Amino acid sequence: MALIKLQNVEDLYEIGDILGSGHYGQVRLVRELATGTSWAGKFLKLRRSVSSRLGLERKSVEREVEILQALQHSNIMALKDVFESKAEVVLIVELIGGGELFDFIAEKENLSENEAIEFMKQILKGVGFMHGKHIAHFDLKPENIMLLDKEQEHPHIKIIDFGLAHHFTQGGEYKSMCGTPQYIAPEVINYEALSTAADMWSLGVITYILLSGMSPFQGDTDQETLRNIVAMNYEFEDQYFSLTSAMAKEFIEKLLVKNPSERMTADECLIHPWIKPLTRKQAATRSRSSINMKNFKKFNARRKWKMSYNMVWACNRFCRLQLLCKSSAKADEELRGCESDQEDTETKPASLLRRRLSSNS
């Protein structure tokens, strides 16, 4: 279990190159002086005063630390140490050097459904463990699914970024409007009480994209995307799903279900015949099917292009869209929380913000 240290991180670690960045600060390569081991350091800037809108609230950083401490699983990024000072908190986490799963796949010539399923299984095991601890990630998307080492024969999945995660307590209702448009569940858009099932919707979207290279609800604008989600407006177009097995489509259909309580859970997914075939015939169908690599490569190239523009999504945008916002005092409070980091993007007029909205729809 990681302990919070009040020392200077530099006393114990050498700080190296930037590995990535988010609205909160940066993720950097760090080397432990005592052992020479490399780790990643997530430097989270804290809000200086209650009135300041820059940086993260200490409370939300503490929440992320608590959640990571509770999640010790081989498919979830491990937390080693936490350093805390007045201005920032530094999380020392395991170094995940294999890049994003989607980038790894996009480099391949082809990928069978069988191979895709091996990755899905690992994601589901990580998510199932998280949900078993009553924790929802609330920001599952390709950018947050990484590989420990892409040179391994069977690369190991690691789920990252628990900045929007929530630990449910018994009887506690939780609502949030944060997330990334393409991947958020209808109940998030409708500002309804949330559960871990919202993550299962996102996994349905991720699986759909993985198999076809198409995003099921993507509209020309975020507004249209949100409308499509709420209207459940998606289909399996033959031209993109010609290589996909019927079992895979059924798997997705059981995740893209409007009523959260009727969606498959991670444990149910793990025993769905697409993931765990019951008969030889099912296993054979699966191994004959493959992902639409040509289209997947196109999707990934577009995704990376958007990321390079650092298109960040704002919760307050929900409000401006008006079509989906509920105006309750609680919603206003929530939106204020989500708006809190906007000053960071003043140099990017095109940016849309969300709280730590890591990215890019």
Tokens 């892409």, residue located: 150
Q: Which 35-54 residues touch ligand AMP, going by CB under 6 A?
A: 40
How many residues touch ligand AMP under the rule CB under 6 A: the total is 15
**Residue from 93, 106, 145, 178 that binds ligand AMP (CB under 6 A)?**
93
Beta partners for 14? 31
What distance separates the 2 farthest-apart alpha carbons in the chain? Answer: 63
**Residue from 16, 20, 219, 337 that binds ligand AMP (CB under 6 A)?**
20
Q: Is 202 in the site for ligand AMP (CB under 6 A)?
A: no
Q: Is 101 in the site for ligand AMP (CB under 6 A)?
A: no
Beta partners for 29? 40
Which phi and psi angles does 188 have, rounded to 5°?
A: -70, -45
Q: Is 344 in the site for ligand AMP (CB under 6 A)?
A: no
Q: Is 81 in the site for ligand AMP (CB under 6 A)?
A: no
Are 8 and 85 contacting, i.e. CB atoms less than 8 angstroms apart? yes
Shortest distance, position 139 Cβ to ligand AMP, whole Å: 8
Strand order of the sheet with strand 4-5?
4-5, 79-84, 88-93, 38-45, 25-32, 13-22
Are 178 and 162 contacting, i.e. CB atoms less than 8 angstroms apart? no
Q: Which helix (H) or strand (E) holds 194?
A: none
Shortest distance, position 164 Cβ to ligand AMP, whole Å: 10
Whichever of 146 and 209 has its CB closer to ligand AMP, that residue is 146
Which phi and psi angles does 144 have, rounded to 5°?
A: -105, 15
- Read off the amino acid at residue 95: L
* Residue 288 burial (CB count, 10 A): 11
Q: Which 128-157 residues touch ligand AMP, going by CB under 6 A?
A: 143-144
* Residue 273 burial (CB count, 10 A): 17
Whichever of 64 and 222 has its CB closer to ligand AMP, that residue is 64
Judge whether 175 is annotated as a binding position: no
Give the three-class secondary structure for 311. Answer: coil
Q: Is 19 in the site for ligand AMP (CB under 6 A)?
A: yes
As annotated, the active-site residues are 139
Of 309, 247, 301, give the one whose Cα is nearest residue 278. 247
Whichever of 275 and 311 has its CB closer to ligand AMP, that residue is 311
Q: Is 315 in the site for ligand AMP (CB under 6 A)?
A: no
**Residue from 68, 96, 111, 357 that binds ligand AMP (CB under 6 A)?**
96
Beta partners for 88? 45
Q: Is 75 in the site for ligand AMP (CB under 6 A)?
A: no
Shortest distance, position 314 Cβ to ligand AMP, whole Å: 16
Whichever of 99 and 219 has its CB closer to ligand AMP, that residue is 99
Return binding residues for ATP: 42
Return binding residues: 42
Contacts to ligand AMP by CB under 6 A: 19-20, 22, 27, 40, 77, 93-96, 143-144, 160-161, 358
